[in-house]
Amino acid sequence: MSRRLFPFRTVMSLAGALVVLATGFVTTGFVASAAPTAIFSENFNSITQTNTGTQADTGLRLGAWDTVSGWTASGVNAVHDVDRILGAEKDIAVSFFYDNVLTMSTGVA
């Protein structure tokens, strides 16, 4: 008897699934949105490297006790950084050492 009901149950299952999908019970309302945009970007190239040295093995310029325009630094010997490009160009990466903290002087609007 269950063999006879197999095709019927299969058809009913498919029909039920189609009804659920058609009425939107399973799917949520799809919302197409624009690509995300950055609300903040900082490259730290405005940093003034005051106490510089050279990183072993790479030759990259290091800085300590530096100042960054638009930022307030706190902590022991803040700010530490490395210029990731050899030569005249800048690509500064700030390094957070020990208890160093950088706080934006003005918030993001």
Number of domains in the chain: 1
Q: Is residue 35 part of a domain?
A: no
d(Cα 47, Cα 66) in Å, to the nearest integer? 7
Question: Over the stretch 66-88, which tens digit does the pLDDT of each residue have?
Answer: 888 999 999 888 888 999 988 88
Cα separation values, 24 from 7, 14, 15, 35, Å: 26, 15, 14, 26
Residue 9 lies in a domain: no
Structural domain boundaries enclosing 94: 47-104
C-alpha–C-alpha distance, residues 75 and 50, integer Å: 16
SS3 22: helix
pLDDT beneath 70, residues of the chain: 1-6, 8, 11, 14-30, 109
